Structure 1
């Protein structure tokens, strides 16, 4: 059934039938072999390589994304992930066994990872290739079939992924469905065995609520206000350049971008001057004309981000053009406490820079979101680094760099609290998309009859004395 059709009753039935169809036809033996999984991953890798130009063009159409950013932050990350997973999959998916000698019997345990079955993956629009296909890699590695719903807010990329993947894979293995929020709602109410969602907290709550009706497990990758701090020892030209690059990459539409920058008052003015110098060096005096600067994805998101600009003093930038969905790299100072730009996730090219006097006071003041996706600190002070790591509840903290950790297959990527739950990338992705199945076999040579009723005081004493050997 073509996915461009309206959401008719027939199409609703088709969408809801997908998980059962995949379980029946895609997983007839229960769990595909490691070789079959790697073959599918290598097919996906070949598609990324063969269609690199088309994917780059689609990303430019949706987000104005420069080709360098498209390859470095989307395609290269996926290619590296596939290489890493294929290299280690046999070891990760090896069955294990153990023996435990008890009083009267031998217990043999055999453990093996099992796929959940048919998995629904709902992608995000800000990195519409990487954040849609990265969980697909984990799902395939875990032995699952999957239905993939790219974001409708990146339509060129969504349509390309649908065409390319559905031509290369049979629908019982990987199937891409395009459509709006109604399509996503229909899919989340279907009988999938696991749902993986990347997006906003508000939509994530709806997905979790829908999944709860079927007790379907969910992995949520959300967002938050990732704090970034430069203490009195952390200022340098290189540090500021790294922060500026990470904040304004993809026009600020990155879930792990530094959201708000807190700078020790002793280096505050130096930092502001260096930020302006870095922005001019990166994008010139007219960033709208720069081939290296992206655009805001949708008109609605443009309106939200542009609304933040008036909530402080514009130290750099501030220009915006709705027709072009362009918002200049903007730096704000002198922001009133309680302003939305300090309370809401910005997710765009507006950087509030806030001075502070004491790190302990900053951390204890409740200004920083402790469970953001990540937290950044630029410092050489061991006490400050330890204090920051202890304070943050996020699954990662990063000292003296931004963004790069999220590209590593060696680091689990995921949220905590308001930033979501569950993690993936590398082995964490394999584990997230599978579960451990244990087979227990017992060899009796002496049965303990005292476990049966009627119970006696004598048997209670024996149980207490030999509990470690009996149980």
Structure 2
């Protein structure tokens, strides 16, 4: 990156900071107007965005609209409907010995927010946190992924045409641009991506004590006990796993199946894959591609660590990897430890759920845990074991599209949540207006202190402090 580009980015952030200093916090009406402008932008450029998403990853147009544009439109509508209620100030009056406290609280925006988004859902994961940030009254800079160049460039153009840069702007470029941006004086950084990069962003932000929200990955276990098997359940799991060619942060990572339904599960998975993508998935218009070469090579290494039960075909020139089911995973292999993030589904049998959980095979702080079961005791066992913010029973993926469900991680899967009200709270902090009216002079609280003063404090502490 040249000095001129670096100076331009610094000037951009300074412009937002200056606007914050010299302008009042946007009213709820003004924030709603900004979000409705974003909604109109998405509607007007819908076909162009779908074309860009298909270009970047050969995404099916249905998936591009459903899991990028439609989710954003739904979120904007929900936030606009609820924002005034979320913004209402809180009030309370407390009577103390000698004075009356009047306490008023309200949510206040952090200021200028940096959003670093990934390549797997390049439109949704760039604008979804921006919706929360704008709803809370912030100004935003979005750094989209360089691995989705068509979507990133289109986003930069249409945002530039729609919004003033001191309100919302997009800065495109490689990781050097991201590194420079994280060193600038933002008031909050929101990052979605890998654990490795998330650590680097946190370390960079720590130098300036900038708060960070991290949305990272994880090995989202999917458990099917002896009561949970059904063709409908398998259809849900296969759909959720191979959506966007497995490149979804809340996709089922590994399927653990009770041994009594293990073979039936494998047979039903194969039948479902044939229904979804046919006997030649490469020709299917419903199946996406891997985003970039480096990730493609990583996935090929995973395939070699188990027995290929179905699939396994690939084409490096097309970045195509067929929906693949693995069994007999090699002990100690990396596929058992690292997030797969691709169209590879290990299916592992187990005998007892309690033993499966006791051996800590399942990452307890993944983004989500999936369980297919009718057994209330098993459901409770998994809920008690998991530290994830979500345990989804008999369904996959859908919680991530629900604005009433907080979306976020804990531990290795990140920290902080957004979507709906959770996003409004994440991008704001509570500000207190405290006032006290004295009606009686109390001298005992001032030095020098006596034994009598201590007795009074002990007796009336609830009214004194």
Same fold by TM-score greater than 0.5: yes
From 284, 290, 296, the counterpart of 2:284:
290
Q: Measure, in 2, the Cα distance between the counterparts of 1:264 and 1:447.
A: 72
3-state SS in 2 of match to 1:171: coil
Match of 2:238 in 1: 244
Match of 1:314 in 2: 308
Q: How do 1:3-402 residues align onto structure 2 when only pairs under 5 Å count?
A: 7-25=1-19, 28-402=22-396
Q: Does 1:407 align with 2:426?
A: no
TM-score with structure 2 setting the length: 0.99
**Structure 1 unaligned regions, length at least 5:** 1-6
Cα offset, 1:27, TM superposition = 5.9
Deviation larger for 453-462 or 181-190 = 453-462
Question: Could you report, residue by residue, the CA deviation over 1:70-91 in whole angstroms, capped at 9, with x for unpaired residues?
Answer: 1111111100000000000011
Structure-1 separation of matches of 2:442 and 2:169: 54
TM-score by length of structure 1 reads 0.98
How far apart are the structure 1 equivalents of 2:272 and 2:248? Answer: 19
The separation in 1 between residues aligned to 2:63 and 2:238, in whole angstroms, is: 15
Per the alignment, do residues 448 and 19 of structure 1 end up closer, same or farther by CA in structure 2, a change over 3 Å counting? farther
Can you list the C-alpha shifts for 1:347-391, whole angstroms capped at 9, x where unaligned?
000000000000000001011000000000000000000000000
CA distance in 2, matches of 1:325, 1:47: 31
The whole-number CA distance in structure 1 between the counterparts of 2:56 and 2:23 is: 40
Q: Which whole-Å CA distance do the structure 2 matches of 1:214 and 1:9 have between them?
A: 22
Q: Distance in 2 between matches of 1:169 and 1:285?
A: 47
Residue number among 423, 429, 436 corresponding to 1:435 in the alignment: 429
Secondary structure in 1 matching 2:101: strand
Aligned counterparts of 1:426 and 1:355: Cα–Cα separation in 2: 38
Residue in 2 that maps onto 1:4: none
Deviations 1:388-447 (A, max 9, x none): 000000000100000000000000000000000000000000011111100001000112
| Aligned residue in 1 for 2:458 | 464
Mapped contact 1:311–1:339 kept (Cα < 8 A): yes
- Counterpart CA distance in 2 for 1:30 and 1:432 is 20
Please list every run of 5 or more consecutive structure 2 residues that lacks an aligned counterpart in the other structure: none
**Displaced runs of 4+ in structure 1, greater than 4 A?**
none
Give the conservation status (yes or no) of the 8 Å contact 1:16–1:191: no
